[in-house]
Structure 1
């Protein structure tokens, strides 16, 4: 459903551009209602710019560590190749809209990524490895306990597990507890997950994008890659960024290991010790990412079904099949002795759906 023409985000975009006919959007996106506008007459503001507002009532299941994405982007200018620059209009920071196509639209999940592009992705990892907390003039919002000492990879991982346990699982138990239980997901799953990821080797911390996948990489007309959506960026274990990238990119099985090996050479050259123990630890961190996806996907699939969850049908079958896949992938890190079949998951979804009130709204945002 398209936003109302008088939505706050659209009205702001019209106000910034001064001409409603030049406003493009809303763009496809989950967390923000985004419009693209030119800034006629603004010195130094050639091209088009993104004007956006956070959508209300969404599922936010990722920790945010920087106060402002725009502030971070300003700090990265000249240090990270091809990130959007920022322009301010009447106190409103706007990001430059990068003209081009997402990498995913050109080379979808599961397809090989051309070497000319993997080379640029690896350069990005090298550039991020050179950016450390003391050298990054961008204000952070994360709590002191979410800033473990440099190199404390176990502490870094523990805080990520805590966030998933507390903000994704525990806070959603009142609404989704029966569904979690039917799928074998309980408090003990986090005890087993902690055991799975314990004992990581120490690695010096650096800047992480933490959401580097095909839809957050733009290919411009000159075949250059631009990295967008730095909202989840943080400072931490560089191997976590590689694990997240491999988990989200869905490289074909033959390409992923080569990218990982090139990552090792690139990052180690820039940040000595930054890849220490990577072969032993990579699988464990990927395991955490798979486990994290289980909890977020259960909630999102159930919410997406809405009233359709009250009776068996194609929508429930498709959701159940997707959840069976993610549960199977996370069985080891979560210590699941068995995974319910797709039909059993579908039955659990219908049983859960029939307990929900008609007027139940979306799950509150998790900031």
Structure 2
């Protein structure tokens, strides 16, 4: 009888231990699952963080995201716009636990799309592109609004009526920027022209500076840019002419030249998207916010800006906000004098997004693909 009782006690104890072990393993598994499900965001940058330009503006947004939502982030600087390279960086981030990937340059699109298809469980946000997937959205801002406003400043300042514009690549994003800037210039100074000089690079301070110097040598007394660094601003400062910055407030890099800058404010967008991902309400979309969404802005006018610029900008701002001014509204001619937008018509978002022609007043060419 004692042997039977002992056997029963032994069986009960063994079963309890087995059940306890299963419970612990299950709990550990759930805890790990919970830990793994935490939102971790990886940012891919085309240039170095400290450049004070485009990459810097996105990194400010990343830091804002961390502060507001307390999520973990990581980033990789100076990634080449190469499909294989982008895929490699994305995979490394996913291996490190990232479940949201943010690509901040147009040329990252192909690599990000390929990885989005491979990793349906990961959400992808791509800046300035057009490809969508169920788990990949596109985002940008209506920077052309700020380009127009900064063009007003340049148009009022120029004495030579020649303004230089250093452009990165001849793609719609940059063409649209040069056009909106020119429309702003000519809204206050119909005699002025804008000369475009391409660098075919997003990030090359020396090359950007040289492009600006060439424009100054051709008569430009104001330099604007669609580039990632302050190279063009520094060129203007070195030659005693004036400048309009881009991406971030560039007044400190060229205090004697810079009049204002068209700037990005990515933080609120990143917070809204990551919060939606965390809440399970996120949907793939093409986002294109404007000044009403606070994603684009104009840096404060500096002491070297023309005195009449403040009132002119405020008036133009109100017209954009009210809808009276759409900027790309007819009649609009191209640089050869052909009507591209009839009077009374407004360019659609799709037409603006695919813009491949220069408006009247621009001097420069768009290379054929």
TM-score by length of 2: 0.26
Which structure's relative contact order is higher, taking Cα pairs within 8 Å and 6+ residues apart?
Answer: 1
User: Which protein has the larger Cα radius of gyration, Structure 1 or Structure 2?
Assistant: 2
Q: Which has a greater percent of strand?
A: 2
TM-score by length of 1: 0.26
